[in-house]
Amino acid sequence: MESRSTGGPPADGPPEGHPGTSLGSRRGRPSAVARSPLTPYLFILPAFLVYGAFALYPLGRAAQFSLFEWKGFGPSTFVGLGNYMDLAGDEDFRRAIVNALVLIVFYSVIPLVVGLVLAAILRRGQVRGMGFFRTVIFLPQVIALVVVAVAWRQIYSPYGLLNDVLRTVGLDVLTRGWLGDPGTALAAVGFIGTWVQMGLVMLLLLSGMSRIPAELFEAARLDGAGAIKEFFAITLPAVRGEITVALVLTIIAALKTFDLVYMTTSGGPGNTTTVPSFEVYFRAFELRTVGSASAVAIVLTALIFVINVGVTRIGERES
């Protein structure tokens, strides 16, 4: 008996002219736009436009202003590199740079050293409730620095919590106005930075240590390695990438800090706590020397760039 024809397409594919033919022939074949070497740049163009409008353009304008003597309004006078030459002999500016370098110790070095030790202890001890602990130590990062500064200003006041504790334990001789004493003001501000940055550094290090295979630690213990040897042989090499990231972020925070200094000491007493970012504000809005303030901003930008490029290169080479 003859089989009835279904009237459908042949088994080997759709008939010629069917829409599926052109789609199937083009499948896996990138379009001309996708093959263009300019396509990757089109994807990053929106982000680059935003970055250029809100970062590169203001930086370029600041560089332009640094070449002029200007009060922020009215006529300006072109002085070339005169503002930069004045900074070379400016005692306040040199003190601001030194203070910023000192703050790097409090913002970066101390949090990194303490954070490494504490993170290694927590990783080795497998503390319960780690999620809650991470939230608590990261909390200073999400609090506005203005709020942090006001709170610590109360702690450091002559009748604040710190002096009350010292009086309670019989150390009245150590009590003082910590932010008003030239010998302790910068360290007091720096310790606030240590408290703020500690959570970020520890969280980065803990996340890096959590990726280390447990078999490495087990093998080291079978070989008789103690906690210290484990730390230097396994933990420290494994978190070099996180250490580099932590250093870059905290160094930037130390060099560009402004609100903490402004709210606690306003650069005083004298110029013992002034920093470059505060100098930018003070020269632009208090002294009305916009050109000099812009020169300080450009020098600060260059300093941040050079230090962080150096840290990143060292970290990459070690890795």
Handedness of CA 224, 229, 235, 237 (dihedral sign): negative
Reported as a single tens digit per residue, the pLDDT across 20-62 is 444 444 555 666 666 778 888 888 999 999 999 999 999 999 9
pLDDT score, position 39: 82
Q: Which CATH class is domain 99-272?
A: mainly alpha
Whole-number Å distance between alpha carbons of 195 and 183: 20
Which of the pair, 13 or 190, is modelled with greater confidence? 190
DSSP state of 258: -
Which of the pair, 242 or 317, is modelled with greater confidence? 242
pLDDT, the chain, mean: 85
Whole-number Å distance between alpha carbons of 119 and 114: 8
Residues 66-86: what's their mean pLDDT?
91
Residues 106-119: what's their mean pLDDT?
92
**Assign residue 80 a region: left if phi > 0, alpha if psi is -120 to 50, beta otherwise?**
left
The CA-based angle 291-307-236, given to 5 degrees, is 155
Residue showing tokens 């935003």: 50
Reported as a single tens digit per residue, the pLDDT across 228-265 is 888 888 888 889 889 999 999 999 999 999 999 999 99
Classify residue 160 by burial, with Cβ atoms within 10 Å: 0-12, 13-18, 19+: middle
